[in-house]
Structure 1
Amino acid sequence: MGTVGRCRVRDPDRTVVPSDDARHRGVHPARLARLAQGVGEAFVELLAVLAPVECVCCGFEDSALCGTCARRLRLLCARPFRAEGQAPALLTAEGAVILPVVAGGHYRDELAQALLSFKHLGQGRLASVLAPALGKAIRSAVGDAAGVCLIPVPSSNAAFRRRGFSPVHLLLGRLGQRGALPGLHMTDALKKAPGPGSGQKGLGRGERARRVRGSMTVRLSRKRSLEGRACVIVDDVLTTGATLAEAARAVSSAGGVVCGAVVLAATRPPAGSDQPADGLDTQPAPTQTKNK
């Protein structure tokens, strides 16, 4: 179990009310970006209604995710687990944990296909299945702690313009609307800094780390609210951990106390990673995390 300040990120089997302004705004003014986010979400829902719908996993008609595949997805996310052991950017050279991470499930099968379709193919209806899985991982990580700030990792500006929404913000927003995680607060604190911080698919550990270094910063309007607050970083997929490490660095630099992170899914490290790909569901021994 990793502990920092007033917050702990636990091994599973041990809650977040996103604020109304919890939307990724990129570099655009807040009002314009909120409007764009709303229009994007509405378009996703409209597309799901008007376009022919079939299960993104098995092709069964009349449902974005059929009952059988939905049950399989829930089974994949039934037991959130500690996943930082296979994220080399989140470990020291000696193997000690820098940032503990709880994952909702393994990035494979129905979970991987549903997440890809949600992010890239306009399948907004899948939020109704993916959001509870993310919420379960958050509850496993934070437990009964109150007052913790959940800080979503922002999409790149290019991805936000292409999709019209930020997947992590949308899922946390769905949880907030349903009151699924009382006692926690989603804070839209991070933004992308100018630079080549996107396009990491297929890169190894070293190149990913170089690509994301310095790519995030905390909004000036949020810095004061983070000082001394327990914070948990939230993202959709964990690979090498470079993105989570950069987000934690930015939040810590602004005075936030980073307790750990939560992701919807954890994948094997990409080709070229320094770490072996086996043993994702190994739960590390309790480790004191660093405010880094």
Structure 2
Amino acid sequence: MRGWWQELAGLVLPVACGGCGSPRTVLCEECGQELYGGRPRRVRPCPEPPGLPAVHAAARYGGPVREVLLAHKERGALPLAGALGRALAGAARSAAPRQPGPGGLVLVPVPSARRAVRARGHDPARRIALAAAAELRRSGHRARVAAVLRQRRPVADQAGLGARERLVNLAGALEVRPGGAGLLAGCSVVLVDDLMTTGASLVEAARAVRGAPQVPPARSEGPSGAPSAGSGRAPYGGFPAMSAAVVAACSESFENNWN
């Protein structure tokens, strides 16, 4: 009910820019440029945790970008999902391989804790991922969302924890849902989240996906671009490629971008 009411209120009531507070606009042009106007870049936290896939971010975390993310995530400003999805789509395009697997590009959101979803009334990463996939399809990419990850045990609140403590807190916390591996077979997987700080959440998500059973894709792409059955093709390396994309990362992660 809370999520439904927030959606309705966002449509009929005057709103302010989620970045700077300018009245009667979901996101002003200046804040939009801060969010998705730059070139997405490879980012690396310091220290970079083992097992972290290549991560690309659309923007630096701070200023209007921080306000937009918090407004959507914590204050229920659901109409901001479109702008955040546009930013995430740019990062996903940057992260994806030039030649995706035969199953196309699949965005796998990092799940929030169940109690956080209940408190917020929505799952921010999944909502942004759906908007990003729609943006990618509009630009001609074969893209979809597969919310195949779930928490297998409770975790502590990450706020206030250091990089090593976050890794320990999340180790073994995620798993692929039953049947989820089949949705990823033959696809190029891009793990997605709204924000990367230490990279611990993406490390755990990558571990869970890599540990899922490797199954061949049920269908492969036919000559017309539509899936066709019974091709007999082997899986494209299981999950052929895995990378990650986020809306934002801290400035230090941009500065630690070495080759």
TM-score for both structures, normalised by structure 2? 0.78
Corresponding residue for residue 234 of structure 1: 192
Question: 1:194 is paired with a residue of what secondary structure?
Answer: coil
Corresponding residue for residue 118 of structure 1: 72
CA contact (8 A) 1:102 1:262 kept: yes
Taking CA–CA contacts closer than 8 Å with sequence separation of 6 or more, which of the two structures ends up with the larger relative contact order?
Answer: 1
CA contact (8 A) 1:233 1:248 kept: yes
Corresponding residue for residue 206 of structure 2: 248
Indicate yes or no: 2:48 matched with 1:84: no
Query: What amino acid sits opposite 2:69 in the alignment?
Result: L
How far apart, in 2, do the equivalents of 1:153 and 1:138 lie?
Answer: 14
Corresponding residue for residue 64 of structure 1: 26
Give the superposition deviation at 1:237.
Answer: 0.6
Give the superposition deviation at 1:53.
Answer: 2.1
Question: Percent identity, aligned pairs only?
Answer: 32
Superposed CA RMSD in Å reads: 2.4
How far apart, in 2, do the equivalents of 1:60 and 1:224 lie?
Answer: 46
Indicate yes or no: 2:94 matched with 1:134: no
Deviation by residue 1:219-275 (Cα, 9 ceiling, x = unmatched): 01213343565422111111111110000000001036352211111125xxxxxxx
Determine which of 238, 254, 258 is the counterpart of 1:280.
254
Unaligned runs of 5+ in 2: 215-237
Question: 1:224 is paired with a residue of what secondary structure?
Answer: helix
Rate the CA distance shift 1:72–1:229 in 2: closer, same or farther, 3 A: closer
How far apart, in 2, do the equivalents of 1:227 and 1:204 lie?
Answer: 35
Alignment of 1:193-208 (within 5 A): 193-196=152-155, 198-208=156-166
Deviation by residue 1:164-198 (Cα, 9 ceiling, x = unmatched): 221121122223445336223321110011222x4
Corresponding residue for residue 172 of structure 1: 129
Query: What amino acid sits opposite 2:249 in the alignment?
Result: A
Corresponding residue for residue 3 of structure 1: none
CA contact (8 A) 2:105 2:143 kept: yes
Query: What amino acid sits opposite 1:169 in the alignment?
Result: R
How far apart, in 1, do the equivalents of 2:120 and 2:112 lie?
Answer: 10
How far apart, in 2, do the equivalents of 1:143 and 1:249 lie?
Answer: 20
Deviation by residue 1:77-109 (Cα, 9 ceiling, x = unmatched): x11111125352247xxxxxx521111111111
CA contact (8 A) 1:47 1:122 kept: no
Q: What count of residue pairs does the alignment treat as equivalent? A: 229
Corresponding residue for residue 115 of structure 2: 158
Corresponding residue for residue 62 of structure 2: 108
How far apart, in 2, do the equivalents of 1:148 and 1:175 lie?
Answer: 12
How far apart, in 2, do the equivalents of 1:143 and 1:223 lie?
Answer: 20
Unaligned runs of 5+ in 1: 1-38, 92-97, 269-277, 286-292
Deviation by residue 1:2-52 (Cα, 9 ceiling, x = unmatched): xxxxxxxxxxxxxxxxxxxxxxxxxxxxxxxxxxxxx66543321223555
Indicate yes or no: 2:137 matched with 1:183: no
Rate the CA distance shift 1:145–1:41 in 2: closer, same or farther, 3 A: farther
Give the superposition deviation at 1:74.
Answer: 3.3
Question: 2:254 is paired with a residue of what secondary structure?
Answer: coil
How far apart, in 2, do the equivalents of 1:43 and 1:87 lie?
Answer: 42
Query: What amino acid sits opposite 2:191 in the alignment?
Result: I
